[in-house]
């Protein structure tokens, strides 16, 4: 009886904790969804109601009426994020392949240096980066947002390198015996077997680029070249009293991220687990 009671209490405590976590994280999302479906008058009711009196999508119409550049901003965000993802995958995977498969006397010294770069706060690099991109005449273009991704990222290099170490090197040797070279091993053996970490990196890189505010805000001055994150901040000043329209804009910004996580969540778990399985 005591054992059953202890099990019941333990299970109840777990469910209570999970319920509290669900309310904490899903509460703001539910409130945003409710707000975007309300009329402007409903958002000023006291006490506020969670559910709208009637579902309507007028907030989206007002959002695009107030800011005709919304579609352009969405397209800009997709273009930049896709180019960033391609650059991250190509550059970081190649560098990680070298760290995981090549044998040189400098490899063990260079990899810690790569990891040390993750400890540098982004704010420290902000002014030097801006000066560099200004001298290159890249300000007010997308190049400062895209080109660094094509030069590799320490975090993504680490993820790829750790995953590549879990792939048996006997497969490399078999490829060499069949007449292949290092690039054949990389393109036809390593990458096809690395789908979980590739998908994980795609999601991380896309989300970081899609939600990036400081970079586009710092380097882009032309309204037509804004990303969605910067454009939504501009909307706050234009529709500060229209809470349904602001909620609609926030909803648009999280839809691509939600779709990515919905269809690729199992790859994220698998990729992260295998990444930490070998040092």
Of 5-19, 98-112, 219-233, the range with the highest mean pLDDT is: 219-233
User: Same domain for 55 and 104?
Assistant: no
Average pLDDT for 14-19: 85
DSSP percent split of the chain into helix, strand, coil, nearest 5: 75, 0, 25
Could you read off the pLDDT of 115-156 as tens digits, one per residue? 899 888 888 889 999 999 999 999 999 999 999 999 989 999
What is the sign, positive or negative, of the torsion defined by CA atoms of 103, 106, 108, 112? negative
How does the average pLDDT of the chain come out, rounded?
Answer: 86
pLDDT band, very low/low/confident/very high, at 6 (cuts 50, 70, 90): low
User: Same domain for 76 and 45?
Assistant: no
Could you read off the pLDDT of 234-271 as tens digits, one per residue? 887 766 678 888 888 889 999 999 888 888 777 766 65
pLDDT above 70 (res 272): no
User: Same domain for 66 and 191?
Assistant: yes
Q: How many CB atoms lie within 10 A of CB 33?
A: 14
- What pLDDT, on a 0 to 100 scale, did the predictor assign at position 83? 97
User: Same domain for 13 and 85?
Assistant: no
Instruction: Please give the C-alpha separations between residue 261 and each of 30, 33, 43, 185, 202, in angstroms, as whole numbers.
Output: 18, 18, 30, 30, 11
User: Same domain for 53 and 65?
Assistant: no
What percentage of the chain has pLDDT greater than the value 90?
38
User: Same domain for 112 and 27?
Assistant: no
User: Same domain for 79 and 163?
Assistant: yes
CA torsion angle for 266, 272, 275, 279 (degrees, to 10)? -150
Average pLDDT for 166-172: 88
- What pLDDT, on a 0 to 100 scale, did the predictor assign at position 271? 58
User: Same domain for 92 and 159?
Assistant: yes
At 11, list the tokens: 């299970």
pLDDT above 80 (res 279): no
Question: DSSP labels for 69-115?
Answer: THHHHHHHHHHHHHHHHHHHHHHHHHHHHHHHH---TTHHHHHHHHH
State the helix-helix crossing angle for 228-238 and 195-211, rounded to 10 degrees. 30
More confident residue, 78 or 242: 78
User: Same domain for 114 and 53?
Assistant: no
User: Same domain for 219 and 204?
Assistant: yes
User: Same domain for 55 and 77?
Assistant: no
Task: Among 24, 41, 59, identify where a domain stops.
Answer: 59
Could you read off the pLDDT of 35-65 as tens digits, one per residue? 888 888 888 887 777 788 878 888 888 888 8
More confident residue, 121 or 275: 121
Domain that holds residue 9: 2-59
Could you read off the pLDDT of 87-106 as tens digits, one per residue? 999 999 999 999 998 888 78
Q: What is the CATH number of the domain that holds 267?
A: 1.10.3720.10
- Please state the domain count of the chain: 2
- What pLDDT, on a 0 to 100 scale, did the predictor assign at position 1? 46
Of 56-70, 191-205, 224-238, 264-278, minimum mean pLDDT range: 264-278
């Amino acid at each position: 009886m005591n054992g059953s009671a202890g099990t019941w209490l333990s299970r109840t405590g777990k469910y209570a904790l999970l319920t509290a976590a669900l309310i904490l994280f899903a509460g703001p999302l539910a409130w945003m969804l409710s707000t975007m479906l309300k009329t402007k008058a409903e958002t000023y009711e006291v006490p506020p109601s969670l559910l709208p009196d009637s579902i309507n999508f007028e907030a989206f119409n007002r959002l695009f009426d107030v800011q005709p550049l919304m579609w352009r901003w969405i397209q800009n965000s997709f273009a930049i994020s896709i180019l960033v993802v391609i650059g991250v995958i190509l550059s970081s995977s190649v560098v990680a392949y070298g760290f995981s498969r090549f044998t040189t006397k400098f490899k063990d010294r260079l990899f810690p240096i790569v990891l040390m770069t993750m400890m540098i706060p982004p704010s420290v690099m902000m002014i030097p980066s801006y000066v560099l991109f200004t001298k290159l005449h890249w300000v007010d273009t997308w190049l400062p947002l895209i080109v660094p991704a094509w030069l590799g990222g320490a975090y993504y290099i680490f993820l790829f390198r750790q995953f590549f170490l879990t792939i048996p090197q006997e497969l490399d040797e078999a490829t060499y015996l069949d007449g292949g070279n290092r690039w054949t091993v990389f393109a036809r053996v390593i990458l096809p077997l690395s789908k979980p970490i590739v998908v994980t990196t795609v999601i991380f890189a896309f989300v970081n680029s899609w939600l990036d505010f400081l970079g586009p805000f710092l380097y882009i001055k032309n309204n037509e070249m804004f990303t969605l994150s910067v454009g939504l901040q501009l909307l706050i000043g234009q529709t500060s009293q229209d809470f349904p329209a602001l909620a609609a804009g926030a909803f648009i910004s999280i839809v691509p991220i939600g779709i990515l996580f919905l269809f690729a969540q199992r790859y994220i778990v698998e990729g992260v687990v295998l990444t930490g399985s070998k040092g």
